[in-house]
Amino acid sequence: MLKNVSTASCLTYLGAIMCLLLLSACNSQQPAANSHQIYSFHGPSSYSAQPHAGDLLQLDWKPKSEATSGEAAPDSILLTVQLVGPFASLEDLQAGIAQSKTAHDTFVKSKIVASAAPILTDTWSNSPRSSLLAVPGKLQPGYYDLYYATTLTSKGKIITKRTDAPLHM
């Protein structure tokens, strides 16, 4: 009888091991990939509504929470600000903006009167940024475009989102 108890105990033990192996196989999960919060930048969120010659404009860029990503590295984002002009009339300014949009978001270099230092950030950054644009002390009177853009470089593609703010100085 001792022999039967040992065999029964052995079978129970073996059965328990088999159940544990089966359960562990059913519950095994792949390790979770590192996921990161993705941010885009919108801005500038504020600036003086009517800048004047000689002003120093601070243009604030705020990150906005988007989706999450399991990518191994963030995508780069370039934040740019330019003051373009002068244009003789609001209609000329609007025509210049339209022409620049068909020319891959570029203005004739002679029309760019001031640029803020470009800011390079990425889609994992949740830190606000600020651009400083020094408005030249001597500006011809006329209409100007305060042009600001975010340029995302992702998987070989370049995506630019721009905003144009017409100003009269």
72-93 pLDDT, tens digit per residue, is 899 999 999 999 999 999 999 9
- Per-residue pLDDT band for 45 (boundaries 50, 70, 90) equals low
Region 11-16: mean pLDDT is: 39
Return phi, psi of residue 144, to 5°. -130, 155
Domain span holding position 48: 38-168
Domain count, the chain: 2
Q: What is the pTM of this model?
A: 0.74
Higher pLDDT, 105 or 150: 150
The pLDDT of residue 127 is above 50: yes
Asked whether residue 57 falls in the same domain as residue 12, the answer is no
Both tokens of residue 160? 């630019």
Q: Are residues 139 and 86 in the same domain?
A: yes
Q: Give the residue from 82, 79, 32 showing the smallest Cα distance to 60.
A: 79
Query: What is the per-residue pLDDT for 110?
Result: 62
Q: What is the mean pLDDT of the chain?
A: 78
